[in-house]
Amino acid sequence: MDAAIPGTEAPAIDRFQLAKGLAAIVMLVALFLTPLPRELSALAVAGLLLMSRRLSSRTMIGSVDWQLLLLFACLFGITAAFVKTGLSQDGLDWLAARGLLPDRLSVLTPLTLAASNSIGNVPAVILLIKLVPDLSNGALTALALLSTFAGNLLLTGSLCNIIVAERAAMSGVTLSFVDFARSGIPMTLATFAATVGWLWAIGLLPF
């Protein structure tokens, strides 16, 4: 069965560039496991990728989605500005006064679900880490897992979802908010239930 979209052609695969990209990923992961600062590791690998005799630097840089990078930068800037207003700290103080700090699953689960689908899962993690810098390793692990799965709830829950929708639209496929929610909501609830149960069962974080 041919799953190709009518009127479109599959892009040609440059096997050399594909292998080069995979090698760069492996190298970057290996560097992340060393004491070298991650930003320097990323810059070093990016510099090596730009050193190509087959693909000009102008062509490579022109292929970068600069609008997407700007969106990421703006999200982080807005999150940092929101922290400086003190409103988020007031909210955390309100929760702390009622014993609702994000150090257990009964608080962290709904908090990550709500935050990830309002400001995005990555900005939500950055915000929580800034507000509660002394989270335990168990809480950080739970935050990483839950925020990732929470981003699958709605189309706006993660920038990855938006990227997929935009790429699909460029290929003539429409992925609406409702269409995404039909699959995203049950999938997120199922993965949340499994993740919470696993975290509680191994004793990583109390409920």
**What integer best gives the mean pLDDT of the chain?**
80
Q: What's the whole-number mean pLDDT along residues 109-127?
A: 83
Helix (H) or strand (E) holding 82: helix 66-85
**42-49 contacts at long range (C-beta below 8 A, 24 or more positions apart):** 48/24, 49/20, 49/21, 49/24
End-to-end Cα, the chain, rounded Å:
48
- pLDDT-based confidence at residue 171 (cuts at 50, 70, 90): confident
The CA–CA distances, whole Å, from 93 to 77, 87, 89, 137 equal 23, 10, 6, 22
pTM to 2 decimal places: 0.66
pLDDT of 2 = 47
pLDDT on residue 8: 57
d(Cα 113, Cα 149) in Å, to the nearest integer?
A: 9
